[in-house]
Amino acid sequence: MNPAKKKALSIALLDQHCTLRNGLESLFGAIEELAVVGSFSRPRELSNCFNSLQVDVAVMGLVFDGDDALGHITDWSNSHPETKFLVLSQLPEMICARRVLDAGGNGYLMKKCSPSALIDGVHRVAAGGVVVSRQIADQLMTDFHKCSTRDEAACFDQLTDRELYVLSLIGQGHTTAAIATEMNLCKKAVSSCKEGLKTKLSLNSSQQLMQIALQCLGRR
């Protein structure tokens, strides 16, 4: 008997340019483990999609006439936390990547990136990772170190064994569901633990939590 076929990741495309969306649909459509469930030119169309379809990853642009894409990302990431948002843009990453992450996005890639980098980025954000260029990752880590306080060690001392374990699993790229399975917890308990970690470590976002988790593992 053949092993059960792994469920394909559902992808929604959002960009003003039909040519780009068609190209992405062809690229993703040729990969068995990816499935494009919608292609949209306006943010409101993607909002409507969320009401009827499950979207694992939204690959989207940043420029929409009369629409604040970053504001939409913030709203969507709060109302649909199961969906990851990967921005594909030609705007300067040194300016925009941090804004996307701060807004609740999960990654930022330039439109000139290779198809393999984009496909890898989709898989990485779907697995709970953060996707940016190495240059941006290094800058974010540098900025994080500059903002770290001298009593950082004391912050870690107040973490429980469970919280430390969750932090280590986050750093290894585990999703909330995977952590729940690993620790024999419900996903709600893991999500609550993550929020507790952000509070105790004075972090403002899931991206900062990922950064400090990677730091704890000695990775960059």
pTM above 0.75, yes or no: no
> Please, are residues 57 and 99 in contact by the beta-carbon 8 Å criterion?
no
Cα gap 191→27, rounded to integer Å:
33
8-37 in b/e form (b: 16+ CB < 10 A) is ebbbbbbbeeeeebeebeeebeeeeebebb
Please provide the average confidence, as pLDDT, over all residues in the chain: 84
Residue 9 has pLDDT above 80, yes or no: yes
> Please, are residues 60 and 87 in contact by the beta-carbon 8 Å criterion?
yes
Rounded to the nearest angstrom, the gap between the alpha carbon of residue 135 and the centroid of all alpha carbons in its chain is 18
Residues 105-150: pLDDT tens digits?
Answer: 999 999 999 999 999 999 999 998 888 887 777 666 665 555 554 4
Largest CA distance in the chain: 58
Predicted confidence at residue 146, as pLDDT, reads 54
Cα gap 163→103, rounded to integer Å:
25
Q: Which amino acid is at 134?
A: R
Domains annotated for the chain, with CATH where assigned, are 9-133 (3.40.50.2300), 148-216 (1.10.10.10)
Residue 10 has pLDDT above 90, yes or no: yes
Quick check: helix, strand or coil at residue 54? coil
